[in-house]
Structure 1
Amino acid sequence: MYNKLPLNYLLIITTTLSFACSRPIKEEKKNNANASANPVSLHVGDEKYVPIDTKESVVVWRGAMQIGANAHTGYVYFSKGELKVEDNQLIGGTLEVDMNTIEDNKHGKNNGLINHLKNPDFFDVKNFPTATITITAVEPLHTAMMQITGDLTIKGITRPVTFTAQVQIKDGVVNASGKLNIDRTEWGIRYKSGKFLENLADQTISDTLEFDIKVVAKHK
């Protein structure tokens, strides 16, 4: 066992950074009779589903021992996703992370750290190859800052999360970046957690995982 591996990982985002949304709504043409009987059905809204650019989007993960030593940083990448935009404002979205893409900060993909992160002690990638986040609410704060609320799924466990993100939409391109911290034990990742194991001393791994999420979405 690679005993001094700090837990830093995800994604998630992973989070799983499912940002799960409904499928695009197609406007239906109504005749005059239907319009007068049910005028509300005429208004669908300016909703757009913008696919993310998986080459430009990324999650940076960070983790460390409980005492702050042996910190590790790396990357994990999105396999697919879309953001829901209405009247030039972000209102929802679905993002899926490919957990098999976990790598360290030197882009190493096959070493002791990465292999341990993929095994059942951590993300059990063989049985849970994806993580997802579903945006359930977006609340403007100030300037381009938004409060994002969503459901984060890791290892088949779904829990609500809230974090702030900067979101800019211009010329059909969405640029979003935010920082999400989670308690890994809430998603069943208890390896060397001081909450569940005693006498670990300096082998205790911090329960906090940090994710810096960058998402770029644009029409192809």
Structure 2
Amino acid sequence: MNNKLSISYLLLFITPLIFSCREAVKDENENNVSASVLSLHVGDEKYLMINTEESVVTWKGSNLNGINTQTGYVYISKGELMIENRQLMGGAVEVDMNTIEDKNHGSDNKLVNHLKDADFFNVKKFPFSAISITRVTPVNGGNKKVTANLTIKGITHSVTFPIKIEVMDGTVKANAKLVIDRTKWDVRYKSAKFYDNLANQTMSDSIEFHIKIIAKNRIN
């Protein structure tokens, strides 16, 4: 695979993307607005296309006690960031769920096939996930707090997460960490919320995504 980098979903979604966190994470809001990739329009802002060869989402998941963890990758299919006065103002990312990989065994193995089936992400029916930024709040320096609409399995909720942005001439580097409660997106497999008597087979409801994005090339 290209650029198997450990990052700090988004993207996109992408994390990321079944993780070692032991507690379900609360989303600040819920919003059923579609999070498909934005069609960005005219103005004085710069719209930078995400370089899909250099960008990646790393996912991590675990059972409830955090002992058995799994890590892998999923890839961004397209996306754009909006930059104004060297500041992140918005953007959108689409993640191809068919590109899910396991860090140790690649894309063709029992684990990945299970992640693609209806127990998890039902990739045949929902081949893409997406995230669209709705608000960016400065924290300090290049550190921001992003609020965005995250869509997985056709379900959209609002999420808020930290992101670090580095803006250079013609290039933006972004690193983010996003942790979600998977059950809000109907990923219920071996969740203690929905299944009794799982004992040590119970999986954490938290999924963590580490998102690395490189965006380049002004769009006219």
**TM-score under structure 2 length normalisation:** 0.83
Q: Which has the higher contact order (CA 8 A, sep 6+)?
A: 2
What is the CA-CA distance between 1:12 and the residue it aligns to?
5.2
Tell me if structure 2 keeps the 8 A contact 1:16–1:97.
Answer: no
Tell me if structure 1 keeps the 8 A contact 2:16–2:211.
Answer: no
Tell me if structure 1 keeps the 8 A contact 2:12–2:129.
Answer: yes
**Structure holding more helix per residue:** 1
Aligned to 2:66: 68
What is the CA-CA distance between 1:48 and the residue it aligns to?
1.4
Tell me if structure 2 keeps the 8 A contact 1:14–1:154.
Answer: no
Tell me if structure 1 keeps the 8 A contact 2:90–2:136.
Answer: yes
Unmatched 5+ stretches in structure 1: 1-8, 26-43
Give the alignment of 1:45-124 within 5 angstroms: 46-106=44-104, 108-124=106-122
Distance 2:156 2:16 in 1: 10
Per-residue CA deviations over 1:106-130 (Å, capped at 9, x if unaligned) read 3511101000000000000000000
Give the fraction of aligned pairs with identical amino acids, expressed as a percent. 54
Distance 1:12 1:107, change over 3 A: farther
**Residue-pair matches, total:** 193
**TM-score under structure 1 length normalisation:** 0.83
Q: Which runs of 4+ in 1 moved over 6 A?
A: none
Q: Please identify, of 129-138 and 14-23, the stretch whose mean Cα deviation from structure 2 is larger.
A: 14-23
Paired residue type of 1:90: L
Does 1:24 pair with 2:56?
no
Distance 1:85 1:11, change over 3 A: closer
Task: Select 1:173's aligned residue among 171, 174, 177.
Answer: 171
Query: What secondary structure does 1:219 align onto?
Result: strand
Distance 1:160 1:62, change over 3 A: same
Does 1:216 pair with 2:211?
no
What is the CA-CA distance between 1:13 and the residue it aligns to?
1.5
Give the alignment of 1:138-177 within 5 angstroms: 138-177=136-175
Paired residue type of 1:178: A
Distance 1:165 1:118 in 2: 28
Aligned to 1:29: none
Paired residue type of 1:57: S
What is the CA-CA distance between 1:23 and the residue it aligns to?
2.4
Tell me if structure 1 keeps the 8 A contact 2:16–2:59.
Answer: no
Paired residue type of 1:172: G
Aligned to 1:13: 13
Per-residue CA deviations over 1:139-171 (Å, capped at 9, x if unaligned) read 110011000100000000000000001001101
Unmatched 5+ stretches in structure 2: 1-8, 18-34
Tell me if structure 2 keeps the 8 A contact 1:136–1:151.
Answer: yes
